[in-house]
Structure 1
Amino acid sequence: MTAELLMNFRDTNPPADIPISAMTASQCLDVIADADRMKSFYDARIAQALTRFAELRPPSRQGMDLADGAREEVSMELGITPQAADTQIQQARKLVTRLPATLSALADGHIDHRRAVALADLTSDLSKEDAHNVEKQVLAQGKRPSHGKFRDAVRRHTIKADADAAARRRAAARKRRDVFCRPCFDGMSELSVNLTAEDAAAVHKRIDTLAREAKTPGDTRTIGQRRADVLVDLILGEGKKLFNVTVNVTVPMTTLMGLNEHPGELSGYGPITAEHARELATNATWRRILTDPAGQVLEVSRRRHASPALADHIRLRDRYCRVPGCNVLAEDSEIDHTVRHSDQGETSAANTGAHCKYHNLWKERSPWTVDQPTPGTFTYTSPEGRTYTTEPDPYPSPDSPTPPTLSIVR
Structure 2
Amino acid sequence: MFDTFHASAPEPPSGGAAGVLSARNLESWADGLSSTIEGVSDLDDAERIDAVRALERLACVVTAAQARLASDLDASQRAEQEAAGVPVARRGRGVVEQVALARRESPHRGRQHLGLAKIVPSELPHTWTAWRTGRITEWKATIVARETACLTLEDRLTVDQIVAGSPDGAQSIESIGERELAGACLKEVARLDAAALVVRRRRAESERRVTLRPAPDTMTYLTALLPVKDGVAVLAALTRAADSARAAGDERGKGQVMADTLVAQVFSAADGDVSAPQVSLGLIMSDTALFGGSDDPAQLEGFGPIPAELAREVMTDACDRDEAIWLRRLYTSPTTGELVSMDATGRFFRGSLARFIRLRDQVCRTPWCDAPVRHVDHLQTHADGGSTSARNGQGLCESCNYAKDAPRWRARPQPDGSIAVTLPTGHQHRTRPPPLVTIRKHHVPALRVDYVLVV
Query: Alignment partner for residue 46 of structure 1, among 66, 90, 95?
Result: 66
Give the equivalent residue in structure 1 for 2:300: 266
Task: Say if 2:159 is the partner of 1:134.
Answer: yes
Structure 2 length as normaliser, TM-score? 0.75
How far the C-alpha of 1:15 sits from its partner, in A, is: 7.0
How far the C-alpha of 1:322 sits from its partner, in A, is: 2.3
Which sections of structure 2, spanning at least 5 residues, go unmatched?
7-38, 319-324, 442-455
Contact 2:408 2:423 in 1 (8 A): yes
Distance 1:387 1:17, change over 3 A: closer
Query: Alignment partner for residue 283 of structure 2, among 249, 253, 267?
Result: 249
Whole-Å separation in 2 of the counterparts to 1:339 and 1:112: 42
Give the equivalent residue in structure 2 for 1:61: 87
Whole-Å separation in 2 of the counterparts to 1:202 and 1:15: 55
How far the C-alpha of 1:275 sits from its partner, in A, is: 2.8
How far the C-alpha of 1:223 sits from its partner, in A, is: 1.0
Give the equivalent residue in structure 2 for 1:408: none
Worse overlay, 367-376 or 355-364: 355-364
Give the equivalent residue in structure 2 for 1:318: 361
How far the C-alpha of 1:41 sits from its partner, in A, is: 1.2
- RMSD of the alignment, in Å? 2.9
Give the equivalent residue in structure 1 for 2:339: 297
Contact 1:345 1:351 in 2 (8 A): yes
Larger fraction in helix:
2
Within a 5 Å distance, the mapping from 1:227-246 to structure 2 comes to 227-237=258-268, 244-246=278-280
Whole-Å separation in 2 of the counterparts to 1:222 and 1:287: 41
Worse overlay, 200-209 or 339-348: 339-348
3-state secondary structure, aligned to 2:59: helix
Contact 2:120 2:127 in 1 (8 A): yes
Within a 5 Å distance, the mapping from 1:133-282 to structure 2 comes to 133-139=158-164, 140=166, 141-142=171-172, 143-215=174-246, 219-237=250-268, 244-282=278-316
Distance 1:243 1:218, change over 3 A: farther
Worse overlay, 361-370 or 128-137: 361-370
Q: Deviations over 1:240-287 (max 9, x none)?
A: 997642222222233344444332222222222333333223234343
2:387 maps to amino acid: E
Within a 5 Å distance, the mapping from 1:329-408 to structure 2 comes to 329-330=372-373, 332-334=374-376, 336-374=377-415, 376-399=417-440
How far the C-alpha of 1:153 sits from its partner, in A, is: 1.0
3-state secondary structure, aligned to 1:287: strand
Contact 1:264 1:396 in 2 (8 A): no
Which sections of structure 1, spanning at least 5 residues, go unmatched?
1-12, 401-410
2:57 maps to amino acid: R
How far the C-alpha of 1:106 sits from its partner, in A, is: 1.6
2:372 maps to amino acid: L
How far the C-alpha of 1:76 sits from its partner, in A, is: 1.8
Contact 1:179 1:193 in 2 (8 A): yes
Percent identity between matched residues is: 28
Whole-Å separation in 2 of the counterparts to 1:369 and 1:325: 18
Distance 1:204 1:62, change over 3 A: farther
Within a 5 Å distance, the mapping from 1:115-126 to structure 2 comes to 115-126=140-151
Give the equivalent residue in structure 2 for 1:407: none
Contact 1:233 1:240 in 2 (8 A): no
Whole-Å separation in 1 of the counterparts to 2:139 and 2:398: 32
Give the equivalent residue in structure 1 for 2:22: none
Aligned residue pairs total: 382
Task: Say if 2:44 is the partner of 1:28.
Answer: no
Contact 1:177 1:194 in 2 (8 A): yes
Within a 5 Å distance, the mapping from 1:95-106 to structure 2 comes to 95-106=120-131
Q: Deviations over 1:64-83 (max 9, x none)?
A: 6x511111111222222212
Whole-Å separation in 2 of the counterparts to 1:319 and 1:376: 16
How far the C-alpha of 1:119 sits from its partner, in A, is: 0.9
Give the equivalent residue in structure 2 for 1:8: none
Worse overlay, 211-220 or 52-61: 211-220
1:297 maps to amino acid: L
Distance 1:111 1:342, change over 3 A: closer
3-state secondary structure, aligned to 2:299: strand
Distance 1:367 1:27, change over 3 A: same
3-state secondary structure, aligned to 1:379: strand
Worse overlay, 379-388 or 313-322: 313-322
Whole-Å separation in 2 of the counterparts to 1:180 and 1:323: 21
Contact 2:125 2:160 in 1 (8 A): no
Q: Deviations over 1:78-100 (max 9, x none)?
A: 22221221111001111111112
Give the equivalent residue in structure 2 for 1:94: 119
Whole-Å separation in 1 of the counterparts to 2:355 and 2:201: 42
Give the equivalent residue in structure 2 for 1:405: none
Contact 2:410 2:423 in 1 (8 A): yes
Whole-Å separation in 1 of the counterparts to 2:66 and 2:93: 21
3-state secondary structure, aligned to 1:392: coil
3-state secondary structure, aligned to 2:331: coil
Whole-Å separation in 1 of the counterparts to 2:136 and 2:393: 48
2:112 maps to amino acid: T
Whole-Å separation in 1 of the counterparts to 2:408 and 2:5: 49
